[in-house]
Structure 1
Amino acid sequence: MSSTVSRIRAAYARVEAVDRPEIWIDLRPPEETEAEARTIDERVAAGEHLPLAGRLVAVKGNIDVQGLPTTAGCPAYAYRPATDAPAVARLRAAGALVLGTTNLDQFATGLVGTRSPYGAVRNAVDPARISGGSSSGSAVAVALGIVDLALGTDTAGSGRVPAAFNGIVGLKPTRGLVPTGGVVPACASLDCVTVFARTLPEAEQALRHLTAPPDRALPPPPPRAPGPWRIAVPPLARLGDMDEGWAQAYEEAVERLAASGASVRPLDLTPFTEAAAMLYEGAFVAERYTAVGAFVDGLLAAGGEGLDPTVSGIVSRARDIPAHRLFADRDRLSVLRARALAELSDADALLLPTAPGHPTLAEVAADPLGANARLGRFTNSTNLFDLAAVAVPAGEVNGLPFGVMLIGPAFTDERLAAVARALEPRVSLAVVGAHLTGQPLNPQLLALGAVLDRTTTTAPAYRLYALRTEPPKPGLVRVSADGAAIETEVWHLPAEGLGRLLAQLPHPMTLGRVDLADGTSVPGFLCEPGALANAEDITRHKGWRNYLGGG
């Protein structure tokens, strides 16, 4: 069986196992996706370069996928597109395979994930809580491990809030970086196509394919002065009311950035929050009527079947906003944007909680407008100010994912991702041989973003052997007697990087707990005892470098 076919079958089995039908609007038939999977594997076997070969993708239901209806979360609106949206086509051209289209807040109007006739999408971690929206199904499909990547859209935070609530990564690129053709608009002048993934490298790889320009070079990022990352952080008191534990989790994220070497400075958040309130409370919401208002009015006149009442109310009320108010709001926004950019000035990024809290389904049902407005406090202004953003996990609060986002000037997308890597959960790794500083495999650690923490020794409970491998490497084995303390380096690296290193670990090496001289223990490289039959015991050298140097 081909590798991509295996992944397809595993994905459909996962769909059944998680039993979350509300994630999907349309799933492609298994026989259709398996046929496409075989074609992908045949192309790879023939030597074709397909960098996303076998990656499974979910697509938000307001983005065109050839062969599936585009509903935008409203059955009566459905149409069958003749072609893929450019964003979908670019992923497919790189070898990705679309599994289906996902549920959303109807017409991408909402940050909650509950405003859909296809059902409220439940959170991946706690089904009693909302998934976040409007790209709800896409985020949960990634978080539950059904697909590798998913496309969403983001006008007011729809590509970031669901990422935060489900513990995954959400990249909201600079406006216009990814084409929005084939996307049912929410607010066409603000909409962005976004990417969800479980890890930052996966999201970045997908975004590189999405942004590949067919016939022009992308604008360069704004220049920056040399030095450490400069991060703007508002005073905690100016963030407003947040759920219990969220302010502390945010402060810990700030401290992690500072500990990584970043320079942290204060910022006045006022222009950002004032602009955020304007997105729904001002005249800009009129663009939602421009997008689908005539359709909504017509369907309401016919009885409104399939319309979400909260969404239809928002869209219909926008019809009566006077033109003069839009011009006044544009003038005010221009002033706020100038203030916001002045506040950012030389900062590489603004660090914020992605949302102020994570409500339950019941809380949103009791106050659909108020709960939604609260969720957009930190996200609504990003596209109004023409900024880029990346949302990343930053730990847990009371067992639920907590996320932060980094926001920066247009076309600093790669820069924001680079800063975000400093926020990734990091783990310790003990190495005693070919991964030591200056040894042949040390570049593997450096490529994963590892940083040397300290040089120490193991507890006196190990023996060291020279294995007959290429390149030469030692084998560390714990013993019950006659052990010694062995020179060890402890490195810190992203948790995702440790997983990648483990996947590449050759036989007979294993990963286990290594006890250190100070009484602590960390994951480290050990050796299977069966590999020692023809190995030389070099414990007397007390370390691999001593052995190589003859010491």
Structure 2
Amino acid sequence: MFSLDIDHLKNAYASGSLTPAQVLDQVYDRIASMGERPVWISLIPKDQALAQLQQAPKGRLWGIPFAVKDNIDVAGMPTTAGCPDFAYTPSRSAFVVERLQAEGAILIGKTNLDQFATGLVGTRSPYGICSSVFSPDHVSGGSSSGSAVAVAAGLVSFSLGTDTAGSGRVPVAFNNIVGLKPSKGLISNRGLVPACRSLDCISIFAGTCADALAVLEVAGVYDPEDAFSRNAAQAGPWPDGFRFGLPMGKLEFFGDTQAEALFAQAVERLHALGGQQVYIDFTPFAQCAQLLYSGPWVAERLAAIDDFANTKPESLHEVVRGIILGAKDISAADGFKGFYRLAELIRQAETQWARMDVMLLPTTGTTYRIDEVLADPIRLNSNLGAYTNFVNLMDLSAIAIPAGFRPNGLPFGITIMGRAFQDDAIAALADRLHRALPSASLGGTGIALDSTPPVVAAANEKIALAVVGAHLAGQPLHHQLVERKARLRAVTRTAAGYSLYALADTQPAKPGLVFDGLGAGAIEVEIYEMDAAAFGSFVAQIPAPLGIGTLTLADGTLVKGFLCEGHATRGATDITAFGGWRGWLAR
């Protein structure tokens, strides 16, 4: 079995040792050997996949096979959300699928899930029960069960799942793969059947952190058609001496002493990477986790499928029906009380975040056999969410990685969590921790992790850039900074002597900053930093009469920034007195 990791396939295509068509042959042979059910709900026929390849652009993911969870739309394919009576066939693919295919990725099919993404176990589907690739008797984890197994079994290079309460992380722990749960809004949810629309994240399953980041690089683009999409710069990598938080007191492993020992080993490996351990009060996080299913967010699950659930309740899986229809008793007043309580818990958690850069937790405290979950579906599912349920409620980023095997051969996993939009930073740290694991392999394939390239750390050298107008946060050209992963460093003002003009006949409207020694100064600027390559591509698209020069800030610091050719100010409006572009716009 050859590896389907993205770097290996790209190198093989470049050298001619493999072609994408040969890879698709192998993918369909592997699927035929394993069987279509229960991993797949809809499989694209091989001849259609080959036709897709013929039309695929030769972009960053050309010839890379992938799968999507079947609550994500693909044009011309049924979307079931794990419920046959709910199925519909969209005419347009989800935004994230469009992005991936525009870069040449080849869709293989749509995968099984806990119905309506309600569950962390993978047992709540009429299309069959997925099991861990390491044991037919143990749960695969859910709700993104099929997506995780497809990667772990070596059927695709990566897959898309979703994550509301932990569905992009729990299956990772049971299948020895990587799961990147991006910050809310970083990947557009347009074309996703919602579970809790305000919390849902489309997640990425892969064999390595590097592959997950390669997919995020393509998929994590602002979508103006999604009301929950967010524009944000990513954080830089953590330096040595980073602080990782651990809960004070004894963690709950539900009697799984083998998992407890593996977690202790992961803590020691993080120490060896230069981490400084700090103990935190886990109470606000634990109480927040309980809100997800005991609070009003269950009503949001009902809102997602209200008409269908009320007209065809018999079509719902028994356990899912009990959870979703139970929300009918939740009042609007309960909803507001839940929001207030969440705000209180987030404020309490701020004190703990001030003491740490990242948090380290078990992904799950234990695992279960399928028959155990079927006999006690609610309690055991709740146990699996003890360390996952609070993450989206608190607007955190997270990445789950393997952390070794129990003596019985079942895998164990850990999760690194950071603040919102620290996805790149925590993934780089997670990759180092993953690679510190002895004899690490990709899923259940037996392919060694060290045969794949690590995450390449961003260059330490950053270039600071001052922006004054259409590139400010919230302005029309700010996306050009976001696309280059520019990071906001400061909001400040220029030194005296600068004048600001509203230029005539520019689209979008732009100001021009000129040093003439006359202006009162104190012009508002935002300082961003980016790597040299990003800076170069940014500067290349700046139109005359604007350009990049050296600005002096109020504290005397020199920084690169936007300046305007003097001739362009003739006939322009002097807006210096407004103190900046935003002040002028708000006039």
Q: Which residue of structure 2 aligns with residue 514 of structure 1?
A: none
Residue 358 of structure 2 is matched in structure 1 by 349
| 1:425 is the counterpart of 2:441 | no
Q: 1:22 to 1:31 in 2, by over 3 A?
A: same
User: In structure 2, what is the Cα distance between the partners aligned to 1:114 and 1:24?
Assistant: 14
Task: For 2:351 and 2:453, locate their aligned partners in 1 and report how far apart those are by CA, in whole Å.
Answer: 41
Corresponding position: 1:382 with 2:397:
no
How far apart in 2 are the matches of 1:34 and 1:421?
33
Report which stretch shifted further, 268-277 or 184-193.
268-277
2:291 aligned with 1:278, yes or no? yes
Counterpart in the other structure of 2:78: 69
Judged with a 3 Å threshold, the aligned counterparts in structure 2 of structure 1 residues 197 and 378 are, in CA distance, closer, same or farther, namely same
The one of 44, 56, 60 equivalent to 1:28 is 44
The aligned counterpart of 2:419 is 409
The answer to whether residue 105 in structure 2 is matched with residue 105 in structure 1 is no
1:8/1:37 contact within 8 Å kept? no
Query: Contact 1:163 / 1:170 at 8 angstroms: preserved in 2?
Result: yes
Give 5+ residue unaligned stretches, structure 2.
1-15, 440-446, 455-587
Cα distance, 1:242 vs structure 2: 4.6
Find the residue that maps to 1:171 and give its secondary structure.
strand
Tell me how far apart the structure 2 counterparts of residues 200 and 192 of structure 1 sit (CA, whole Å): 18
Which residue number in structure 2 is paired with residue 496 of structure 1? 449
Quote the Cα distance in structure 2 between the aligned partners of 1:364 and 1:75. Answer: 23
The structure-2 alpha-carbon separation of the partners of 1:97 and 1:401, relative to structure 1 and needing over 3 Å to count, comes to same
Q: 1:209 offset after TM fit, Å?
A: 0.6
Query: Contact (CA 8 Å) 2:49, 2:108: kept in 1 or not?
Result: yes
SS in 1 for 2:77: coil
Report deviation, 1:39: 3.2
Q: 1:260 aligns with which of 273, 278, 282?
A: 273
Aligned-partner residue type, residue 142 of structure 2? G
Q: Contact between 1:63 and 1:182, CA under 8 Å: does it hold in 2? A: yes
Change (3 A) 1:148 1:224: closer
1:134-153 mapped onto 2 (5 Å cutoff): 134-153=143-162
Select which of 220, 224, 246 maps to 2:233.
220
Residue of structure 2 equivalent to 1:545: none
> Quick one: distance in 1 between partners of 2:230 and 2:185?
13
Structure 2 CA distance for partners of 1:498 and 1:6, relative to 1, 3 Å: closer
Show the counterpart of 1:14: 30
Q: For the residues of structure 1 that align with 2:332 and 2:231, how far apart are their CA atoms? A: 34
Q: Could you tell me which residue of structure 2 aligns to residue 4 of structure 1? A: 20
State the TM-score, normalized to the length of structure 2. Answer: 0.70
SS in 1 for 2:217: helix
Q: Distance in 2 between matches of 1:126 and 1:365?
A: 16
Answer yes or no: is the 8 Å Cα contact 1:427–1:495 preserved in 2: no
Aligned to 1:527: none
- Structure 1 residue 241: deviation in Å? 2.9
Listed one character per residue, the Cα deviations across residues 44-96 of structure 1 (whole Å, up to 9, x for unaligned) are 4xxxxx11111111100000011210010000111111111011111111110
CA distance in 2, matches of 1:324, 1:242: 39
Query: 1:293 Cα shift?
Result: 2.6
State the Cα distance separating 1:175 from its structure 2 match. 0.2
1:249 is matched with which residue? 262
Q: Is the 8 A contact 2:161 2:167 kept in 1?
A: yes
Task: Confirm or deny that 1:289 pairs with 2:325.
Answer: no
Q: Is the 8 A contact 1:63 1:183 kept in 2?
A: yes
Alignment of 1:165-314 (within 5 A): 165-213=174-222, 218-221=231-234, 228-235=241-248, 237-239=250-252, 241-300=254-313, 304-305=314-315, 307-314=316-323
**1:219 counterpart letter in structure 2:** A
1:101: how far off? Answer: 0.4
State the shift of 1:341 in Å: 2.3
Q: How many residues align?
A: 426
Secondary structure, aligned partner of 1:237: coil
Give me the whole-angstrom Cα distance separating, in 1, the residues matched to 2:114 and 2:38: 12
Identity %: 43
Distance in 2, matches of 1:134 and 1:235, equals 30
Following superposition, the deviation at residue 140 of structure 1 comes to: 0.2
What is the TM-score when the length of structure 1 is the normalising length? 0.74
Distance 1:214 1:337, change over 3 A: closer
Distance 1:59 1:5 in 2: 20
C-alpha root-mean-square deviation of aligned residues, in Å?
2.3
Partner of 2:334: 325
> Structure 1: how far apart are the matches of 2:106 and 2:380?
36
Aligned residue for 2:38, secondary structure, equals helix
Change (3 A) 1:316 1:263: same
Cα distance in 1 between the residues matched to 2:27 and 2:450: 24
Q: What residue identity is the alignment partner of 2:266?
A: A
Equivalent position of 1:37 in the other structure: 53
3-state DSSP of counterpart to 1:231: strand
Alignment partners' CA distance in 2, 1:113 and 1:85: 23
Provide the rounded CA distance (Å) in 2 between the counterparts of 1:312 and 1:217.
32
SS in 2 for 1:150: strand
C-alpha separation between the residues in 2 aligned to 1:426 and 1:261? 12
Label 1:495 to 1:229 Cα distance change in 2 as closer, same or farther (>3 A): farther
* Distance in 2 of aligned mates of 1:108 and 1:185: 8
Q: Counterpart of 1:261 in 2: which secondary structure?
A: coil
Structure 1: tracts of 5 or more residues without a match: 45-49, 430-493, 502-551
